């Protein structure tokens, strides 16, 4: 599933963009579901994001009243670093402003070129999601089988002899130690912040003192001896992806 948010105060343009996105998804003829939602206000979109709504691709009109697409993009980059941001604007100078602010939008499209460029860009973006490998963690017992998408795992904690996975769709339990789980995950985005918790770096919003603030609203304590190590791992992880 690829979730796409479109923000433009001109409803006609936003619906046109939505139609282009859907047409390009259909052309790919792949097992790829695309879900779109349009907004006439960047403030409303930010409100949804603050309440844990998530999108993979954002098509933003820069010149929006009160709260601009540029301002929203700064918020997205702070909280959802891997999202694809596509600016749509009537003024080419905004591209330079975006780079100056270090927003790092993936694409800029002038509105006068939207019919020519948007289909090509969306085809490229959606193809990336088809070839992008998806990794799953599998839990299997004699009576049940579960698979959890890596990117959906927020954190994992120890509960007696079990490891409990807190994910976007709820919780999952496996009779295994955290050390065993971490070894099976084998991915640098998962780090041990203390003896009883593993977190997914991609779901960390910020680290303050000896706490990590996760994007589901929870705050988890880091053991004091691990604070510097955890900060270093998080910093190195994002540095390699910027």
pTM assigned to the model? 0.56
Q: What is the CATH number of domain 137-239?
A: 2.40.50.1020
What per-residue confidence (pLDDT) applies to 154?
95
CB atoms within 10 A of CB 29: 7
pLDDT category of residue 98 using cuts at 50, 70 and 90: very low
CATH number belonging to domain 2-131: 3.40.50.2300
**Tens digit of pLDDT for each residue in 29-50?**
666 789 999 999 999 999 998 8
Question: Residues 99-158: pLDDT tens digits?
Answer: 434 566 788 888 888 999 999 999 989 888 776 666 889 888 777 788 888 989 999 999
Cα 154 from Cα 141, distance rounded (Å): 23
Mean pLDDT, all residues of the chain:
86
Give me the residue spans of the domains in the chain.
2-131, 137-239
pLDDT in tens, 191-225: 999 999 999 998 998 899 999 999 899 999 998 88
């Amino acid at each position: 599933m690829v979730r796409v948010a479109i923000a433009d105060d001109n409803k006609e343009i936003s619906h046109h963009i939505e139609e282009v996105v859907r047409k390009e998804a259909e052309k790919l003829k792949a097992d790829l579901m695309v879900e779109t939602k349009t907004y006439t206000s960047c403030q409303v979109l930010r409100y949804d994001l603050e309440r844990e709504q998530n999108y993979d691709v954002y098509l933003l009109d820069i010149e929006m009243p009160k709260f601009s697409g540029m301002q929203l993009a700064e918020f997205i980059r702070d909280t959802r670093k891997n999202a694809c941001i596509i600016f749509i604007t009537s003024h080419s100078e905004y591209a330079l402003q975006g780079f100056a602010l270090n927003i790092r939008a993936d694409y800029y499209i002038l509105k006068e070129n939207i019919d020519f460029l948007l289909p090509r860009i969306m085809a490229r973006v959606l193809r990336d999601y088809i070839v992008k490998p998806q990794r799953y963690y599998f839990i299997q017992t004699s009576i049940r089988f579960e698979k959890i998408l890596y990117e959906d795992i927020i954190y994992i904690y120890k509960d007696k002899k079990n490891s409990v996975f807190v994910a976007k769709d709820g919780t999952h339990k496996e009779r295994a130690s955290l050390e065993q789980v971490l070894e099976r995950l084998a991915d640098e985005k998962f780090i041990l912040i203390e003896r009883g918790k593993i977190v997914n770096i991609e779901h960390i919003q910020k680290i303050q003192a000896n706490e990590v603030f996760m994007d589901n609203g929870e705050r988890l304590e880091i053991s004091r001896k691990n604070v510097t190590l955890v900060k270093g791992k998080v910093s190195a992880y994002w540095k390699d992806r910027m």
